[in-house]
Amino acid sequence: MKATDIKNPEYFHKVVDCQHACPAHTPVPEYIRLIAEEKYTEAYMINWDSNVFPGVLGRTCDRPCEPACRRGRIDGKGEEPVAICRLKRVAADNKGDVKGLMPKGPFRPNGKKVALIGAGPASLTVARDLAPLGYEIHLYDEQKLGGGFMRSQIPSFRLPETVLNEEVGYILDLGIHTHFNHYVESLKETLGKDYDAVFVGSGAPKGRDLDIPGRKDGAANIHIGINWLANVAFEHTAKVGKKVIVLGGGNTAMDCCRTARRLGGDEVKVFVRSPFAEMKASPWEKEDAAHEDIPIIDNHVPKSFVVEGGVLKGMTFEKVTAEYDKDGKRKLVPVSGPDIFIEANDVLIAVGQENSFPWIERDLGIEFDKWDMPTVNETTFVSTNPKVFFGGDSAWGPKNVITAVAHGHQAAISIDLMCNGKDLALRLSPYVNLVSQKMGIHEWAYDSEVVSDKRYVVPQADKKLTLTNRKKEVELGFNALAGFKEAERCLNCDIQTVFTTDKCIECDACVDICPTACISFTENADESDLRSMLKMPAKNLTQDLYVSDTLPTKRVMVKDENVCLHCGLCAERCPTSAWDMQKFFYNVTKAHTGCASHK
């Protein structure tokens, strides 16, 4: 193999599994260390710069970082990842004054005007990134408050309104011109105003319906999940029947069933077509539903709504079993026996949501594909109309808040480039830094000790309280001590093991000391051969091999990044400092930090 080019920031970026997996590439280990040092404000600001909504995400993020967390791989005996998401909340809960650290208006106007349609996370991110550059930002939303689906779909027992208001407020306070209670009916009309750019962050607002017998007759008690959740959030709906059926296996279904429990649903049941293990909902959301006595009944396909005398009585289901062909493709095969009738006063349909652009005229130069989705550039987020950008769920369908934020950052960069007459393809390099952590013998600037603690559980409020008050937050969050202990579980994967070939005397000290047998000195070979020639075969192909230049004995140093604990013992035992522990800081450049207009 060729020697690894560690000058390419993407190599070490990939070693920081959590950060690499995060759509916004938040520098996770950096803020976790700050939490351990009780520097909550600084930890919050690292998050705020990267993901804009630390308090919201610390409660509701889909956390792609956690399945990626190296800690989940290191013992093969069920060691769980660091509770990254809930640590973010610790920073948000305990922070001091952050407002003083944020950009503060009024900003010198640059004479450009941008319209943002929809006030969800994608648009708000664009607003935050562009406002400090002097853009005049106009934010449109049909609701009376900003936040988009963070407000209408995420129930307050998961995300208190105060937290959302605070973080939306930080952005609106940058001098954003808000146009709430204003449904944009025509993009043509918006483009007709003197905006230099329009960003569409209108989400995927259309809940999928279920067209089966009885749907029309029972309409009064059959609700589309996301609309129902929005009605609850905006207090148009305050009650639900005693017996409730929720259809669907995603996170929206979980939010629906748990909300129904709080609005009078004593017997709430979730019915899913697929097997339990294949449900789209996050495991922790399924656990939370189970904790609230909500059964999730899998392998049931809805057949009809049963309506008698104009009143919904319940639903019938067909029982199925999942069979898989040799390609692993799933087929739901009916199990013989009569259909099953389940009583219900109300049914909530949460079987997915779709994009919908009835307000975008099709003669504006914006190309739509056969699924009626706009053609959007995956890097620049520009549509086929150079002045119109898309991001968040409206670009490629429903994802999550953190993805919307990541889109917003990139779209903001594109808008800034476009408004300055520059090529959108000239993306900004990330901010990167690599600094030695050595302070002396056995002394490192980071806490190198690897603790053996198991993952701490986030405490929850008493069920008696939470089930009777829709707004009472269920999770209490880690207190400062539990936050510290959980933070200590982080392996500091951003403290990189940096190898200098010239300094190595091949004494084997690093090989002997490495607790997880990551380091080998061997003859060089092709990657596939090399992987099997190491002290422990490197079977995880998603993890790179770090290969040195050729050493005096004609061998190479090969390090399998897979289960490196970043404990620093290789560097500790290296007599010549050929190994060094260096802190790698990688931050995606935003429009406001590395903007085109400043250069």
**Taking CB under 8 A as the rule, does residue 488 contact other proteins?**
no
Q: Which stretch binds other proteins (CB under 8 A): 11-19, 81-89, 117-125, 573-581?
A: 573-581
Residue 252 CA from chain centroid, whole number: 15
CA distance 224 to 239: 15
Relative to beta strand 296-297, strand 300-308 is unpaired
Which range, of 34-42, 109-117, 477-485, 563-571, touches other proteins by CB under 8 A?
Answer: 563-571
- Give the strand pairing for 579-587 and 443-444: unpaired
- Describe the crossing of helices 40-51 and 28-36 by its angle, rounded to 10 degrees: 160
Q: Which of 266, 463, 576, 598 contacts other proteins by CB under 8 A? A: 576
Least distance CB 74 / other proteins (angstroms):
5
> What does the alpha-carbon distance between residue 445 and residue 574 come to, in Å, rounded to a whole number?
17
> Which lies closer to other proteins via its Cβ, residue 312 or residue 450?
450
CA gap 445, 42 in Å, rounded: 17
Question: Measured at the alpha carbon of residue 260, what is the angle toward residues 288 and 237, in degrees to the nearest 5?
Answer: 140
Kindly state the smallest distance separating residue 536's Cβ from other proteins, in Å. Answer: 5
DSSP string, 405-416: HHHHHHHHHHHH
- Cβ nearer to other proteins, comparing 164 with 490: 490
Dist. CA 487–CA 247, nearest whole Å: 38
**Binding piece for other proteins, criterion CB under 8 A, among 160-168, 298-306, 397-405, 443-451:** 443-451
Asked if 575 is part of the footprint of other proteins (rule: CB under 8 A), the reply reads: yes
Which C-beta is closer to other proteins: that of 277 or that of 441?
441
329: left (phi over 0), alpha (psi -120 to 50) or beta: beta
Residue 572 beta carbon to other proteins: minimum distance, rounded to whole angstroms: 7
Bond into 27 cis (ω within 30): no
Name which position in 336, 429, 452, 542 contacts other proteins (CB under 8 A): 452
Q: Could you say which of 502, 515, 523, 529 contacts other proteins (CB under 8 A)?
A: 515
* Binding region for other proteins (CB under 8 A) out of 18-26, 352-360, 438-446, 469-477: 438-446
Size of the site for other proteins (CB under 8 A): 40
- Of 81 and 118, the one with the shorter C-beta distance to other proteins is 81
Instruction: Name which of 427 and 535 has its Cβ closer to other proteins.
Output: 535
Binding mask 65-84 for other proteins (x = CB under 8 A): --------xxxxx-x-----
Residues 98-137 that bind other proteins (CB under 8 A): none
Minimum distance of other proteins from residue 66's CB (angstroms): 18
Cα–Cα distance measured from residue 224 to residue 206, given in angstroms and rounded to the nearest whole number: 9
Kindly report the number of other CB atoms within 10 A of residue 106's CB atom: 9
Q: Which of 442, 462, 526, 542 binds other proteins (CB under 8 A)?
A: 442
Q: Please report whether residue 581 would count as binding other proteins according to CB under 8 A.
A: no
Measured from the CB atom, the residue of 210 and 511 that comes closer to other proteins is: 511
Please answer whether residues 38 and 479 qualify as being in contact, where contact means their C-beta atoms are separated by less than 8 angstroms.
no
Instruction: Mark 366-405 with x for binding to other proteins (rule: CB under 8 A) and - for no binding.
Output: ----------------------------------------
Q: Is 572 in the site for other proteins (CB under 8 A)?
A: yes
Among 574, 581, 588, 595, binds other proteins (CB under 8 A): 574
CA-closest candidate to residue 311, choices 281, 263, 346, 277 = 346
Q: Which residue among 40, 305, 444, 585 contacts other proteins (CB under 8 A)? A: 444
Closest CB 539 distance from other proteins, rounded Å: 7
Number of helices (H), then strands (E), belonging to the chain: the values are 21, 24
Nearer to other proteins, 186 or 553 (CB): 553
CA dihedral in degrees (245, 250, 255, 258; nearest 10)?
50
What is the H or E stretch that residue 418 is in?
Answer: helix 401-419
Tell me if 201 sits within 8 A of 148, measured CB to CB.
yes
Which string of x and - marks every residue 523-562 that binds other proteins (by CB under 8 A)?
-------------xx-x------------xx---------
* Alpha helix segments (H runs only) across 95-160: 121-130, 149-152
- In terms of CB distance, is 433 or 553 closer to other proteins? 553
Please list, in sequence order, all residues whose beta carbon lies within 8 angstroms of the beta carbon of residue 41, skipping any fewer than 6 positions away.
Answer: 95, 96, 97, 98, 101
Binding site for other proteins (CB under 8 A): 73-77, 79, 442-444, 447-450, 452, 505-509, 511-513, 515-518, 536-537, 539, 552-553, 563, 565, 567, 569, 572-576
